[in-house]
Amino acid sequence: MRNEMEKMFQEELKDIETKAPKELVREYTTPDGAKVREVGPIVSGYSMTIGADGKPQVKEFGNVRPSASGTSPILSSEREPLVDISTNDKEIKVVVEMPCVNKENIKVNAYDSSVEISTDDPQRKYHEVIDLPPDADIETVSSKYNNGILEIVFNKKQQSKPKGKEVKVE
């Protein structure tokens, strides 16, 4: 499987150097006079989890995306970070891996059904819009960043029980 993946990657990325965004290309001359052209970092991966419905969920991350035409992939200077969402009875926790970023450069915007994460860090750029479960209460959101991990926590919305009154049948 590993050999097949390497072969596929080599075929798909053979002309990526010419299509790479200028932010990902570095050229320099070595002390012995040789010219070197580096492209990267190139990050591509996926995570697979089993959802609450028992079905597998595959999420891609990185800065390599398939093109609409199905030809060679598109390389972006922004990465999609690895994201994991977990829930319990009281809260919804979104965990985002964003190594090598200063916390001052992270922006988090919570909306009714999603949370948007982006960075303005000159070294590493991340961007992702994450769909939230419908019971996430954005009024209670909090976040913290430590050691490359961003945690965003939402309380679950209070489910009000319908008020009612028993009616006696005569």
* CB burial string 10-43: b at 16+ within 10 A, e below: eeebeebeeebeeebeeeeeeeeeeeeeebeebe
pLDDT means per 10 residues, the chain with 170 residues, are: 74 66 81 84 78 80 72 75 90 93 93 92 87 92 95 88 79
Environment class of 132 (CB within 10 Å of its CB; exposed 0-12, middle 13-18, buried 19+):
buried
Domain spans, the chain: 1-76, 81-159
Kindly indicate whether the domain formed by 81-159 is annotated with CATH number 3.30.420.310. Answer: no
What pLDDT does 131 receive? 92
What pLDDT does 151 receive? 97
The token pair at 141 is 């959101």
What pLDDT does 15 receive? 65
What pLDDT does 122 receive? 75
